[in-house]
Amino acid sequence: MTTIGTIIRLAGRSLWNRRGTAMLTVFSIAVSVTLLLGVERIRTETRSSFANTISGTDLIVGARSGDLNLLLYSVFRIGNATNNISWTTYRELAQRREVAWTIPVSLGDSHRGFRVMGTTADYFRHYRFAGDRNLQFAAGGPFDDLFDAVIGADVARQLGYVQGQSVVIAHGLGATSFVNHDDKPFVVKGILKKTGTPVDRTVHVSLEAIEAIHADWQSGARPRGAEISAEDVRRLELRPRAITAFFVGLKSRAATFRLQRAINEYPEEPLSAIIPGVALQSLWDLVGIVEVALLAVSAFVVLAGLLGLLTTILTNLNERRREMAVLRSVGARPWHIFTLLMSEAGLLAVCGVAAGFGLLYLCLAIAAPFIEHRFGIFIALNPPGSYDLAIGAIVVSVALLLGAIPAFRAYRNALADGLTIRL
């Protein structure tokens, strides 16, 4: 027993003989490491997912409301608008000389839990995400008929839809609806490629289609006997009366603040114009305290797990006094005993960290589809990064520091003390 390798093998066998206690210690460290790394992973992936959702848009305009509310319902499909914007107002603002392009959107309907968004073909030309990436089609193309629909990648994957599939839009936003526009079904014209944004979970139709399916509705209901068939509705004037919001791209970004002020002070109806990047930063400032609190709680959980490791080794030390004495009697030196207990602490910590990484990826694999489905946030299962590895190294280092306490106590125990029978 003169080599470090021999001592480590002895430490492993010693832990195996006490595997019940050792496994509980490893599990407590694994859970604490999983919590700490999980909070950080969700935080960074959420920030990345939000930041990559929209780019190249200078302003988002909606009815007067809070900046975050407008950002959430127009971009992330979370929540609802406080009011609509009249089509006349939209056309007047879209024709201002500073404006290069606009994308009107109309929200309020759904399909089997997925939001339905009415828009124009400009959406597929001008919408950008993740820097300067544009929307691309995995199959088909943009809508050109009144009852064409373009679906996101997640809609196609989760519902098993293909090009040419029939789609019935439901009135309202519930996952299960008893009020469907089943007399005016749509056909899947195109399927978008995966973007990792809420676009993947959206059914896109034209603004005229939104007007068509509501042509025979009054006050959120369809009066009996007032139905208009899908063929007859094509002959109607389907110009939108109102939209939910619209995105604005400017000819020069120098005009951003001037146009924003003009829209916020628009005299005809109360409007809000927000800069997406500024609104996103406000969102992170709002949740920044929560992020710090979660990380602090996670750090304390890790510390609690390591203190459990210290408690376990100290408790076992009193029960292993005779074992230590026997090792001393067969030639083990005090530093051998010290190294043995340090090795046990290190092995427990390394196994706990490794199990924590495994548990983290298992939880992410299970939770990621739910988080994406519920909140539209894509969490990638990337390999451990430098931060993750640094956390693992810190946990092992702290475990070794804590393990030095019982190891030093064992180092000081004399052979005679270990062999003495206490009455």
- For 136-179, what is each residue's pLDDT tens digit? 999 999 999 999 999 999 999 999 999 999 999 987 665 555 57
Of 346 and 88, the structure prediction assigns the larger pLDDT to: 88
C-alpha 423/C-alpha 411 separation (Å) is 24
The DSSP code sequence of 184-246 is S-EEEEEEEPP-SSGGGGEEEEEHHHHHHHTTT-BTTB--TT----HHHHTTS----SEESEE
Whether 115 maps to a domain, the answer reads yes
Whether 279 maps to a domain, the answer reads no
Q: What is the pLDDT of residues 284-307, one digit of tens each?
A: 777 667 777 777 877 787 777 777
Owning domain of residue 250: 59-274
Query: What average pLDDT does the chain have?
Result: 82
Question: In this predicted structure, which of 67-71, 276-280, 337-341, 344-348 has the lowest mean pLDDT?
Answer: 337-341
342 & 233 share domain: no
185 & 83 share domain: yes
122 & 43 share domain: no
Give the pair of three-digit tokens for residue 242.
């109102």
Task: Count up the domains in the chain and report the number.
Answer: 2
User: pLDDT above 70 covers what percent of the chain?
Assistant: 80
Whether 100 maps to a domain, the answer reads yes
Amino acid sitting at position 144: D
C-alpha 96/C-alpha 86 separation (Å) is 16
167 & 231 share domain: yes
255 & 326 share domain: no
Which of these three, 227, 251, 274, is where a domain ends? Answer: 274
Whether 281 maps to a domain, the answer reads no
Whether 76 maps to a domain, the answer reads yes
Residue 414 confidence class, pLDDT cut points 50, 70, 90: very low
> What is the mean pLDDT of the segment spanning 81-89?
92
Whether 387 maps to a domain, the answer reads yes
Whether 223 maps to a domain, the answer reads yes
Q: Which residues pair with 62 in a beta bridge?
A: 245, 272
Residue 98, pLDDT above cutoff 60? yes
CA-nearest of 156, 210, 236, 215 to 188 is 156
Which of these three, 228, 251, 274, is where a domain ends? Answer: 274
304 & 361 share domain: yes
246 & 339 share domain: no
329 & 302 share domain: yes
pLDDT given for residue 18 in this prediction:
72
pTM of the complete model: 0.69
Which of these three, 274, 306, 326, is where a domain ends? Answer: 274
pLDDT given for residue 192 in this prediction:
96
71 & 26 share domain: no
pLDDT given for residue 64 in this prediction:
92
79 & 41 share domain: no
User: pLDDT above 90 covers what percent of the chain?
Assistant: 35
Residue 423 confidence class, pLDDT cut points 50, 70, 90: very low
317 & 186 share domain: no
334 & 402 share domain: yes
C-alpha 364/C-alpha 397 separation (Å) is 26
Whether 38 maps to a domain, the answer reads yes
